[in-house]
Structure 1
């Protein structure tokens, strides 16, 4: 039986380039009754740990290094013993939030993570940040997109370490080639599908969004 997907929303602050914003984050859990993987533990380690319950936490996966996606990771790791995984290109962002603690292992394009008999493939999708990744779970017809792709367009690229042409290339070459029925479970806000977003690529490019 394939793993199931669970969803938790946590709230807190996103801080970068001297600014601070209140944000709601999607925290995703993939697993079964025995083991689980957490994607982007944001703001509230206690709430995420409660969602994990007494299951074995296989890994804590951070889709990128912005503080609102990693700020609860060390506490969750300390509570559970699970390793924190991050793409090394986002080390500089991680260090802004956790200067005394490094991730435990690197994410890399093509790496496969397995939980509850279900594979998640790591797709390196830079643009929102240098080390941004998405996780593709074909058996679940799902893409966990972090802040690379949202319902309505690409993630923000107006701040440090981001680049608009790069995120467009990542979306075009790595994400829009997936099955149109693939559900895109995002880092913030509502889910969407690849098929719903693909027709709008030219609009995004035109407005430089």
Structure 2
């Protein structure tokens, strides 16, 4: 069994008075005994079916836009697993779940371990104040949420976002990773650090 499984779920993203149809990448890291869920959105039953009878060690939210967290409390209760989120995401989290709180905080340099696989917590603010990536050196991958996509940075035109900040996060944190590192994103296809790095100046010039 591959240590990384991928599921696409569909739903909506709402913020600043607008609503958009979206497809979200749900990432499952682990083995045939235990797994960690990254951004399990929209369809709790589909996620549970993929997990099957495995133990869920944690539900990690890369950020708190509603299309990434809408099923987090439901799945936490279903699996008896904690929800982890950077505390700087609190204002966005409360827009979707005013009656619930995440269970644990994600902090810089923290290491999460599942099935013997270590994932390093990398704060990458910009798309939102506490956007966070997870780097698994052993697997040669980084899970970037909505910070870095195939072809450019995540959107920064909405509340709680900053273009200058996301560019700094990508430049200082993500582009410092090995070029062959696979980038597993929150939406759309995967890419590599090496494929995206040459376009940094282009993104800055275009105000991407």
TM-score by length of 1: 0.98
The equivalences for 1:121-136 within 5 A come to 121-136=120-135
1:140 alignment partner, SS class:
coil
Task: State whether structure 2 residue 103 is matched by structure 1 residue 89.
Answer: no
Q: What does the per-residue CA deviation read over 1:71-94, in whole Å, with 9 as the maximum and x for residues that have no partner?
A: 010110111100000000001101
What residue ranges of structure 1 are gaps of 5+ in the alignment?
none
**Correspondence for 2:187:** 188
**Correspondence for 2:15:** 16
1:7 alignment partner, SS class:
strand
**Correspondence for 1:200:** 199
**Correspondence for 2:30:** 31
Task: State whether structure 2 residue 150 is matched by structure 1 residue 151.
Answer: yes
Q: Is the Cα contact below 8 Å between 1:126 and 1:133 reproduced in 2?
A: yes
**Correspondence for 2:50:** 51
1:21 alignment partner, SS class:
strand
CA RMSD, Structure 1 to Structure 2 (Å)? 0.9
2:28 alignment partner, SS class:
strand
Q: Is the Cα contact below 8 Å between 1:3 and 1:115 reproduced in 2?
A: no
Q: What does the per-residue CA deviation read over 1:147-179, in whole Å, with 9 as the maximum and x for residues that have no partner?
A: 000000000000000000000000000000100
**Correspondence for 1:177:** 176
Q: Is the Cα contact below 8 Å between 1:127 and 1:165 reproduced in 2?
A: yes
**Correspondence for 1:6:** 5
Q: Is the Cα contact below 8 Å between 1:3 and 1:116 reproduced in 2?
A: no
What residue ranges of structure 2 are gaps of 5+ in the alignment?
none
Runs of 4+ in 1 over 3 A off after TM superposition: none
1:64 alignment partner, SS class:
coil
Q: What does the per-residue CA deviation read over 1:5-39, in whole Å, with 9 as the maximum and x for residues that have no partner?
A: 00000000000000000000000000000000000
1:110 alignment partner, SS class:
coil
Q: CA deviation at 1:3?
A: 6.7
Task: State whether structure 2 residue 119 is matched by structure 1 residue 105.
Answer: no
TM-score by length of 2: 0.99
